[in-house]
Amino acid sequence: MRSTAIALSLFFLSSCATGYKASYVTGAVTKEVATESYVPYSEAFNKKIDECCAEGVCNPESPDVITKTQLDKCMGPKFEQSTHEKIEVAVKIYHEAAKAFTEAMKIPDASDEERKAATNALFESALNLLALLPEGDKRVAQLKKLTGR
């Protein structure tokens, strides 16, 4: 009877630890993939601004200054302000989800369901962000593969 109780306790502890570990791995991998995926986009985005503003055409004092519409056209649908703002919103949502996830992971007696819910919210927000970046489908597939989801 005693050994059965010990075995059950060990099994329970092991299950909780495995749930915690799985959530942690999802959180860590998600952060890595999201951060790495943003780098090439950011480089291309800044390069595009440099190209569109070459020879001082974005200087309001310049006689050759371009208009907002001309800049939007030059930036193209991939990098124009409205597109970047969607990415910014997605990153903010993911950042908030990561804060909530961290709080859930800090609670020592949090249930597996609570942790799972926070992990799912984090994962979904990261998928939404990755889908907005160039090669979004590839990034989404990569995250799903790495996290086993």
Which of these ranges, 1-9, 58-66, 136-144, lies near other proteins under the rule CB under 8 A? Answer: 58-66
132: phi > 0 → left, psi -120 to 50 → alpha, else beta; which? alpha
Distance CA 149, CA 143 (A): 8
Query: Of 7-26, which residues contact other proteins (CB under 8 A)?
Result: 10, 14, 17-18, 20-21, 24
> Does residue 111 touch other proteins according to CB under 8 A?
no
Distance CA 61, CA 89 (A): 32
Distance CA 52, CA 118 (A): 41
Q: Residue 108 has what DSSP assignment?
A: T
Which of these ranges, 1-9, 42-50, 135-143, lies near other proteins under the rule CB under 8 A? Answer: 42-50
> Does residue 78 touch other proteins according to CB under 8 A?
no
126: phi > 0 → left, psi -120 to 50 → alpha, else beta; which? alpha
Q: Which two tokens stand for residue 133?
A: 């970046």
Smallest separation (angstroms) from other proteins to the CB of 79 = 8
Q: Which residues of the shown chain bind other proteins in the complex (CB under 8 A)?
A: 10, 14, 17-18, 20-21, 24, 27-28, 31, 34-35, 38, 42, 45-46, 49, 53, 58-60, 65-72, 75, 81, 84-85, 87-88, 91-92, 94-95, 98-99, 101-102, 105-106
